[in-house]
Amino acid sequence: QLQESGPRLVEPSGTLSLTCTASGGSIYNPYWWAWVRQAPGRGLEWIGQTFHRGSSDYNPSLKSRVTISVDKPNNRFSLKLSYVTAADTAVYFCAREGSPARPNRVRGAFDVWGPGTAVAVSS
Amino acid sequence: QSLLTQPPSASATPGQRVTLSCSGGRSNIETLPVNWYQHVPGAAPKLLIFSNDQRPSGVPDRFSGSKSRSSASLVISDLQSEDEADYYCAAWDDSLNAVAFGGGTKLTVL
């Protein structure tokens, strides 16, 4: 299971920081750990994902502002999005790409999701 | 504007069969696996289909996927009221080195 946590309100030009805690399994498992968001009235947008060994991929439109990293001792991973604006107001989901039943990686197949957390950018 | 194109809406009555489409290109759907998600507003998205036509455990066989060249389809048979949701296709794009989501199709069960 995955659970997002972090501030619900961020000031413009600040940094949005969210954490996703994985329970019932290790962050060391051979999965990729991702963040996806949905702005009000919009569709799903992939933010990026990381592997516990340090590799990461990011949405080109957000790459200059995003860092996704794994916190191994605490079995969680995090999202940092800098220089936020109102356009970054969204529900943020963390997700796991991969399944024990699927040994071969299928990119973009997110089997497990957190419930999502709403973050507003406002002063 | 999404790399993957989906019609914004679709509708059908209970018991009918509905086909949702997703159109892409050579750097995504044509050469790489397509995945489909069901998203009920307020809940987490759910993986319905991976690798074009594979169902994760627990997904009813009323849901099926297929792919032909640069287009993919999700078919929902014997439509039920609880199928009313937003449906998204997703695939890796080799040009962007990123996961691309379609814009989503809002399915209404009349």
* B contact test, residue of A58, A105, A107 with most B CBs within 10 A: A107
For residues B53 and B67, the answer to whether their CB atoms sit within 8 Å is yes
pLDDT at A27: 81
For residues A111 and B59, the answer to whether their CB atoms sit within 8 Å is no
Neighbours of B23 (CB within 10 A): 17
pLDDT, one tens digit per residue, over B15-62 is 999 999 999 999 999 999 999 999 999 999 999 999 999 999 999 999
Distance from CA of A61 to the nearest CA of B (A): 10
For residues B50 and B25, the answer to whether their CB atoms sit within 8 Å is no
Distance from CA of B87 to the nearest CA of A (A): 10
Say yes or no for a CB contact (<8 Å) between A106 and B96: no
A106: Cα within 13 Å, side-chain hemisphere? 25
In this predicted structure, the answer to whether residue B1 has a pLDDT above a threshold of 90 is no
- By C-alpha distance, which of B82, B100, B106 is closest to B1? B100
pLDDT, one tens digit per residue, over B59-85 is 999 999 999 999 999 999 999 999 999
Q: Across the interface, which of B43, B86, B101 has its CB nearest the CB of A46?
A: B101
pLDDT at A101: 82
For residues A96 and A3, the answer to whether their CB atoms sit within 8 Å is no
Say yes or no for a CB contact (<8 Å) between B44 and A102: no
In this predicted structure, the answer to whether residue B93 has a pLDDT above a threshold of 80 is yes
pLDDT at A110: 96
Say yes or no for a CB contact (<8 Å) between B50 and A49: no
Tokens of B29: 């759907």
Instruction: Return all residues near B1 (Cβ < 8 A) that are at least 6 apart.
Output: none
Q: Across the interface, which of B45, B88, B99 has its CB nearest the CB of A107?
A: B99
Query: Rounded to an integer, what distance in angstroms lies between the CA atom of residue A122 and that of residue B6?
Result: 32
Per-residue pLDDT of chain A (123 residues), as tens digits, is 999 999 999 999 999 999 999 988 888 788 999 999 999 999 999 999 999 788 999 999 999 999 999 998 899 999 999 999 999 999 999 999 988 888 889 999 999 999 999 999 999
Dihedral angle of Cα A109, A48, B24, B73, to the nearest 10 degrees: 30
Say yes or no for a CB contact (<8 Å) between B97 and A44: no
Residues 46-85 of A with CB under 8 A from B: 46, 49, 57-60
